Amino acid sequence: MSRSSVKDDAFLIFTAKVRIIFDFPSQTARKISRPPGGRKKRLPVPDKNRARSEQEARPFRTRAKASVWRKERFPESFSADLRTFVRTNIQLVKMRTLPFLLLACCMGACTSRPSSGGADGLTLLVGTYTNGNSHGIYTFRFNGNTGESRLLDSIALPNPSFLTVSADLKHVYAVSEMNDSSAMLNLLAFDPAGGKLRLLDRHPTFGTDPCHVATDGHMVLTANYSGGSISVFPLHADGTTAPADTLFHGMANGLDSVRQNEPHVHCTAFSPDGRYVFATDFSADRLLRFDVTENGLSPSPDSTIVSVNPDSGPRHLTFSPDGRHAYLIGELSGCVTAFAYEAGRLTPIQTIAADTTGARGSADIHVSPDGQFLYASNRLQNDGIAIFAIHPQKGTLTPAGYQPTGKHPRNFGITPDGKYLLAACRDDNVIQVYRRDNRTGLLNDTHQDIHVDKPVCIVFVNKP
């Protein structure tokens, strides 16, 4: 074999090796072979007469793809000189391409990847009962990629068992669930980026044990459980609260002589079109409707009252993301009632059991952001979360699974992107972090528990 032939054959194998290892086309390999400060150095191009040699090199090209840098495999016909030549040129390519590989790695590391809320893109607010070791509201930074969280801030308040955040993220409205005249609506300034909270004002609810709060940006409503009433707080233009100016009362005529012996109102929900408010009249097994007016709320005609099955104990109501359906959890019956919603009218279409043990302790209910699944929590026995698939047109429910949780999952929240569900297990003093399967709706425990004493409310906001 002549020296020229050795070099020609080695070039073909060398070019094949570069294309295999770096996945470069031969033109790209020529472009990057340029001495600093000099003109472009063109590598020799094999002529057409070498096509046969190139065909013969292909089997080796395939085998070389599985080989490693430090232990090359050559055909037995290769001479020692040819093998040395190939090794030398491969090392040269490695040195010349190293800066480009490092640059590519740096560019890849600096490229932002889409994520749900980003890594550290969510602020989590947690309300608690303070008759133990908790002292109020806690804020955390929640990592949407890993499910991990870290404490940001806390503020002392008595029994902030439920809270909500203004649309502009500047204020937090939180109840103090107290069974006396110290029952309050608390107004707090909020920094969603840093999670900082600062108390601005407090107003009496004039109804004991406020357990729910909602706002539409024009008013704030508290549902007062033991008071059996709804308090209406007007909002100023800057989002601060005025004292309560209206009080509506529920009724008590349910079948349970212990749990429904006096009026209880458990929650209020603004309709998707913003024209109405629905309230769960727990002790009367019905939903009340109010018209939203410029002056606050006005009771709708009695014909708009929605009765549910006796002994239901309606607790929480939620609407589907598209606004076409609503879902109600009955605390006593353990059943979910599905409604069709249109122009202020709720029409029952289905009732299905979420609690099959008869524990009479169902609690919270939410629809996933994609509208495909519904979740309902149960307490007292077989504590956990029932999972239902939602029919995309009819809005009816089909059981999809059941996720056992810690003790007393009074409340839970789903991240805005739907990747995680966090369950506040009051009696285990922990918030459990579950990853959602978007296809099946099922939950997987990540074991990234957040340890808080008596957590009972979870609210997510996107960090600006």
Pair 457, 163: CB distance under 8 Å? yes
**What percentage of the chain has pLDDT greater than the value 90?**
72
Token pair recorded at residue 154: 């806390």
Taking the C-alpha atoms of residue 458 and residue 164, their distance in angstroms, rounded to an integer, is 9
For the ranges 9-23, 165-179, 217-231, 406-420, which has the lowest average pLDDT?
A: 9-23
pLDDT of residue 56: 41
CA distances from 269 to 201, 212, 316 (A): 24, 10, 9
- Going by their DSSP bridges, the two strands 450-451 and 455-462 should be labelled as unpaired
Higher pLDDT pick, 278 / 88: 278
* 321 against 18, higher pLDDT: 321
Least confident stretch, 33-42, 174-183, 405-414: 33-42
Question: Is the pLDDT higher at 375 or at 27?
Answer: 375
**Half-sphere CA count of 259, side-chain side, radius 13 A:** 18
Residue 27 has pLDDT above 50, yes or no: no
Q: Quick one: pLDDT at residue 449?
A: 98
Q: pLDDT: is 308 or 121 the higher one?
A: 308
* Per-residue pLDDT at 4 exceeds 50: no
What H or E segment, with its residue span, contains residue 95? helix 80-110
Q: Which whole number is the average pLDDT over 193-217?
A: 97
Domains of the chain (ranges, CATH numbers):
3-110 (no CATH), 122-462 (2.130.10.10)
Q: How do residues 276-321 score in pLDDT, each as one tens digit?
A: 999 999 999 999 999 999 989 999 998 899 999 999 999 999 999 9
Q: What is the pLDDT of residues 225-262, one digit of tens each?
A: 999 999 999 999 999 999 999 999 999 999 999 999 99
Please count the helices (runs of H) and the strands (runs of E) in the chain. 4, 30
Task: Write out pLDDT tens, residues 161-178.
Answer: 999 999 999 999 999 999
Check residue 302 and give its pLDDT. Answer: 86
pLDDT recorded at residue 446: 98
Mean pLDDT of 265-269: 98
CA distance 221 to 435: 32
- Assess whether pLDDT exceeds 50 at residue 189: yes
